[in-house]
Amino acid sequence: MTKLPVNEQDYIKFQVAHNIKLLYKQYNGNRDQNTKHTKNERHTLNNIKEKLVINNAIVLKADKGKSIVISFIDDYHKKVQDFLPNSNFSTVNNDLTRAFQKEIRNMINNCQLTIHKDEKWKYINLNPSAPAIRGLSKVHKIDIPIRPIINCQNAPAYKLAKLLSRLLQIHVPLPYTFNVKNSVHLMNDVLEIPFDLNLPSVSFDKENMYSNVLTNDLIEIIKSMCSKQSHNKKLTNELINITHTILGKTYFKFQDNFYIQKTGLAMGTPTSSILSEIFLQQVEHTATL
């Protein structure tokens, strides 16, 4: 795992150097992996890298497919900055990493059932930093907006969030009644529907799903599910307290500014997928009763 530089200028240089590998991969898409670059090939790729640096440009991955996008860094920054005010984020005056690290340590120390006393160190990030946001280019849309991606691997709560994800799968099993396992499962379900030329078809796409999950309702849902599993009060409280702590760590950094997500699940956190699934399955079951 590569730790990102803190300084913005260093980060830009890092991105140029790191993303140039995408050009290597795309160039070598149909080549034998054991084939070495010729002198001319290396010269061409080095020229591309030099032009990116001279023109203050950056190589980005496209949101869909295997395409890459070359964008001016100023344009890229503007698209991210345009996205932030129009979304569910607000600025904060300082870096919250130290305060969050202290809160995470206290939470881990208070866990007696879910975390063994000799393994508490495994869930503490010893050198945490604020998560960084980056954007993938939506080349399939007008004006090529960005899809925000937040890297939380160096965040204070990352390791504890991975633990919580495992604990929820163990102690709060989901029925997956209305889910499909794969495309084959979907096709089999569709084939069982009586065919009619007038049969309408509807597809729903949830916009910004993570940020629209009602976290207060989510806590109550987990409590109810723990009760159905007949978990003792101490285990239930630990699961709820860890969940509540993770839900509050929705901050990130872009350039020299810090932001916090006002509502919903944090982007990039390991627990967001399982927590959103818990919420959605509860909605599905209550809607069909």
Q: How many residues does the chain have?
A: 289
Confidence band, pLDDT 50/70/90 cuts, at residue 19: low
Q: Most confidently modeled of 66-80, 113-127, 135-149, 274-288?
A: 113-127
User: Which residue bears the tokens 């305060």?
Assistant: 99
Structure confidence by residue, pLDDT tens digits, 241-275: 999 999 989 999 998 899 998 889 988 899 999 99
For range 65-76, the mean pLDDT: 86
Q: Which amino acid is at 228?
A: K
Percent of the chain with pLDDT over 90: 41
Alpha carbons 133 and 89: distance in angstroms, whole number: 12
DSSP 214-258: -HHHHHHHHHHHHHHTT--HHHHHHHHHHHHHHHT--EEEETTEE
Alpha carbons 25 and 108: distance in angstroms, whole number: 41
pLDDT value at 106 more than 50: yes
Edge-first strand listing for the sheet containing 257-261? 89-92, 257-261, 251-254, 132-137, 146-151
Alpha carbons 157 and 124: distance in angstroms, whole number: 8
Percent of the chain with pLDDT over 70: 86
Helix (H), strand (E) counts: the chain:
10, 7
Confidence band, pLDDT 50/70/90 cuts, at residue 38: confident
pLDDT of residue 178: 85
- Among the listed residues 284, 172, 158, 262, the one whose alpha carbon sits nearest the alpha carbon of residue 222: 172
For range 186-190, the mean pLDDT: 88
pLDDT value at 30 more than 60: no
**Domains of the chain, residue spans:** 1-86, 90-145+155-288
Helices marked H in 2-85: 8-27, 39-54, 73-83
Confidence band, pLDDT 50/70/90 cuts, at residue 1: very low
User: Which residue bears the tokens 């010729």?
Assistant: 38
Confidence band, pLDDT 50/70/90 cuts, at residue 21: low
Whole-structure pTM over 0.85, yes or no?
Answer: no
- Among the listed residues 159, 152, 124, the one whose alpha carbon sits nearest the alpha carbon of residue 250: 152
pLDDT of residue 289: 46
For range 47-59, the mean pLDDT: 87
